[in-house]
Structure 1
Amino acid sequence: MSGTATAAGFPPGSAGALLSIDLGAIAENWRSLQAAVGKAACAAVLKADAYGLGAARVAPALAAAGCRRFFVAHLDEALALKPLLPASATLTVLHGPTPGAEAEFAARGIQPVLNGRAQVDAWSALARRLDRELPAFVQVDSGMARLGLSPTELRALAADPRALAGIRVAGVMSHLACADDPGHPANREQLERFRAARRLLPPAPASFANSSAIFLGEDFHFDLVRPGAALYGLAPQAGMPNPMRPVVSLQARVIQCREIEAGAPVGYGFAWRSAQPSRIATVSVGYADGWLRSLCNRGAAWFDGTLLPLAGRVSMDTITLDASALPEGALRPGTLVELIGKHQDVDAVAARAGTIGYEILTSLGARYARRYLEAPATA
């Protein structure tokens, strides 16, 4: 997945761009994270279609590497993945059951995260109706004010001996707001709140660390870590060297090249004008493919080690590149230029777009031709 892309293996008349996804790198990233947390178990977060990379392909690769704990956001995601995973795998839904969906969770063997008293009460009521214990994670809000039992709810639940009747607490969890900034004081503050919350709940395995928090140290690991972004090659901590293997590369087709005169405008709104005679390459990727419009006059592509600045606005289906630095004829219709790869990774694209790598990955469009590089067979 390095070097300059060629059209080899990319069928004529196919999509306008080729997205390559290295399943072996995803598996290796999981193994390295599992090694980093020692005795704690390492799960995998597969929400949003494995961050846009195709959960149906990613999940079996992670299972083959040894992963047995998987988290998604919605029940539908869990139901789609369940047939693809070993019977020993556990699927947990982060958003918990929507009202009325509790019976489907129980019938299909999907484990919810209970994020508030209403979800706790509904899950307990179902367990009592079925006359059997039902497993679930319980999430506490340690300071992010997003999901989880509020401090008031937690105190009320702890004071009610029947609140968790019928529920087997499979784990207690929370989520960090600032884990990508190792020096942020909120990390330790949330850690102390999480420890205090656990003392109010039945003894159970604890899960606190996302990708970034794994690198905050052993205090944050507890019994189970839940990496997502790091599995897919994103840097876990801002401004630090990325220890993860790159997972994706993206090459896009040139549609047309043209010479323009000095001062000529390019694209919608005439947002870019050439300062000198220039060569413009139109490339078959746009915001409909997840190439964000904020990359206007800020994005870039690469060809044979040469930077090709994005000239003008990102259109729905195309971008225009200033290819003046290349020799005449270097780019022709059908040539592939690099948008993500050796010269700029997902985090670098995100920085140019003024966003984060998560948004870039999950925005990558469905129109790409996808090539999966299989993980090596393991014993």
Structure 2
Amino acid sequence: MDPSAPSECFMMVNSPSLETSAMTSTTEAGVRLFVNQAAVQHNYQMLCQLHPQTDHGAVIKANGYGIGAAELAPILEGAGCKSFYVARPSEARGIAQKLSPTSKIYVFHGHNETGFDFYFNNGFIPILYSRPCIENALTYCKKNTLSLNAALLLNTGMNRLGLDSKDLEALDIDVLKETLNIDSIHSHLACGRTKDHPLNNKQMALFTQLCDQHFPEYPRGLSASCQLVLPDYFASHLTRQGLNIFGAFSPDDLGESHSFFPLQFALKVQAKILQVHTVQPGETIGYDASYTAPSPLRIATISMGYADGLPLSASNSTVYTPMLGGIKTPIVGKVSMDLTTLDVTQVPEEHLDQSSWVDVFYDNMSLYNLATAAKSSLHEIILRLGPRCERIFE
């Protein structure tokens, strides 16, 4: 890729995938997730606009953060995305048939278990992260008299996966370049979402040094979704966009600039009301009688529990509340496996029947508040959505 070439992100958005479809359509679904395809495409193209000289890839590992990688891949390709990142070989196989042959699919790990025939035969790009991994790839190429497309991952301070400076010194870089078709060089920021964290610049300096010394001719990428809050020089030639695709972010990360956030929230989760009844003062609700009614309350039981992704730790939360008809409906009592009880005393009766759906999260702040109440992350809350949740792409 020529780093000076303009981004191809602004392609026509016309895509057959923009028709409404249900990923796991079922008449019994008590929980449903709506995915706004136009918002996903808008977000991807807006990220391209912010850094037009950068190739923006989409990270859709873990089944697209649990939302549906096979559905998201063509939606993003329709917005101009040509690079896709997954964690494991099986995830690459799952999206390959949904993409055009010209799109690239990178696989972060799992290479030794799969064997490199898998990558060569399918055109997938393994991201090699250790000396044994590279040695296995070189042996494979020499044995089969071929050259394998591959990317490299450098450890610049996160200390999970990656080649460090000693690894690079021990490798014959010339042989590496002669044997492999090196696509790009990557690393990962440990504290990228904290804009002013001193480790960011330390990692950037080391990444630049190692790339300049060993791989000056290849495109490089250090930042992921955190690029939204970082200075422009972190963007390099490549970025890997993840949660940004859905317009999800932590207001703490953006600080005062969050009111100017250019992305659109693309997700909405709803749960169906199963029953509404009145609880008298002094009566308790749910397991372990953890909530006692202080006055007569109208209680709605919804068809969503921790098996569906609503965390047990959100029980009796004062930080997070679902909504019904624009009115807050706090969780009272413990979230159980399949059911959760809400205080709907303030909700007009016309909204309280078995055809009503409660908004569990519906904008970025509701997702953020739920994650805060659960002492979790935005990523984990989205990933928690279980298989009983119907995914509807609209």
Q: TM-score by structure 2 length?
A: 0.88
Query: Is 1:194 equivalent to 2:207 in the alignment?
Result: yes
Measure, in 1, the Cα distance between the counterparts of 2:329 and 2:122.
51
Q: What does 1:313-324 align with in structure 2 at a 5 Å threshold?
A: 313-324=334-345
Aligned mates of 2:175, 2:91 — CA distance in 1: 31
Rounded Cα–Cα distance in structure 1 between residues aligned with 2:195 and 2:209: 22
What residue number does 1:21 align with? 35
**Structure 1 vs Structure 2 CA RMSD:** 1.9
Deviation at 1:328, TM superposition (A): 4.4
Amino acid at match of 1:269: D
Distance 1:191 1:249 in 2: 36
Please, which runs of 5 or more residues in structure 2 have no aligned partner? Answer: 1-21
Once the two structures are superposed, the pairs formed by residues 278-317 of structure 1 within 5 Å of their partners are 278-298=297-317, 299-317=320-338
Alignment partners' CA distance in 2, 1:280 and 1:347 = 25
In terms of mean alpha carbon deviation, does 348-357 or 187-196 score higher?
348-357
Structure 1 residue 45 corresponds to structure 2 residue 76? no
Aligned equivalent of 2:267, options 219, 243, 248: 248
The residue type equivalent to 2:183 in the other structure is: A
CA distance in 1, matches of 2:365, 2:94: 33
- What is the match of residue 148 of structure 1? 162
Trace 1:60-71 onto structure 2 (pairs within 5 A): 60-71=74-85
CA distances 1:34-65 after superposition (whole Å, capped 9, x unpaired): 11112111111110111111111110011111
Amino acid at match of 1:196: Q
Aligned equivalent of 2:355, options 328, 334, 349: 334
Structure 2 residue matching 1:98: 3-state secondary structure = helix
Q: Which amino acid aligns with 2:282?
A: G
Number of corresponding residues: 363
Give, in angstroms, the shift of residue 126 of structure 1.
1.1
CA contact (8 A) 1:214 1:225 kept: no
**1:182 and 1:237 in contact (8 A); partners too:** no
| Counterpart for residue 120 of structure 1 | 134
SS at match of 1:86: coil
Instruction: Choose the corresponding residue for 1:73, options 87, 94, 102.
Output: 87
What is the identity, as a one-letter code, of the residue corresponding to 1:201? H
User: Which of the residues 54, 57, 60 maps onto 2:68?
Assistant: 54
Distance 1:214 1:129, change over 3 A: farther
Q: Secondary structure at the match of 2:388?
A: coil
From 331, 356, 367, the equivalent of 1:346 is 367
Q: Larger deviation: 337-346 or 134-143?
A: 337-346
Superposed, which structure 2 residues align to 1:76-155 within 5 Å?
Answer: 76-95=90-109, 97-155=111-169
Q: Is the 8 A contact 1:232 1:247 kept in 2?
A: yes
Preserved CA contact (<8 Å) 1:96 1:113: no
1:170 paired residue number: 183
Whether the 8 Å contact between 1:235 and 1:243 is mirrored in structure 2 is no
Kept in 2: contact 1:96–1:119 (CA 8 A):
no
- 1:153, CA displacement in angstroms? 1.2
**Which secondary structure state, in structure 1, belongs to the residue aligned with residue 329 of structure 2?**
strand
CA distance 1:343–1:25, change in 2 (3 Å): closer
The one-letter code of the counterpart of 1:199 is: D
Please state whether the residue corresponding to 1:44 is helix, strand or coil: strand
* CA deviation map 1:53-108 (0-9, x unaligned): 11111100111111111110011111111111011101000115124522211111
What do residues 112-131 of structure 1 show as CA deviations (whole Å, max 9, x unaligned)? 00010011111111111221
- Correspondence for 2:246: 232
Q: Aligned with 2:73: secondary structure? A: helix
- Give CA-to-partner distance per residue, 1:320-370, whole Å, 9 cap, x none: 001122244541222111111159532232122221110011111221222
Which residue identity does 1:48 align to in structure 2?
A
Aligned partners of 2:265 and 2:364 also within 8 Å: no
* Aligned match of 2:288: 269
Task: Output the CA distance in 1 between the equivalents of 2:178 and 2:113.
Answer: 19
Aligned counterpart, 2:219: 205
Larger mean Cα displacement after TM superposition, 35-44 or 213-222 = 213-222
Letter in 2 for 1:185: P
Percent sequence identity over aligned pairs: 29
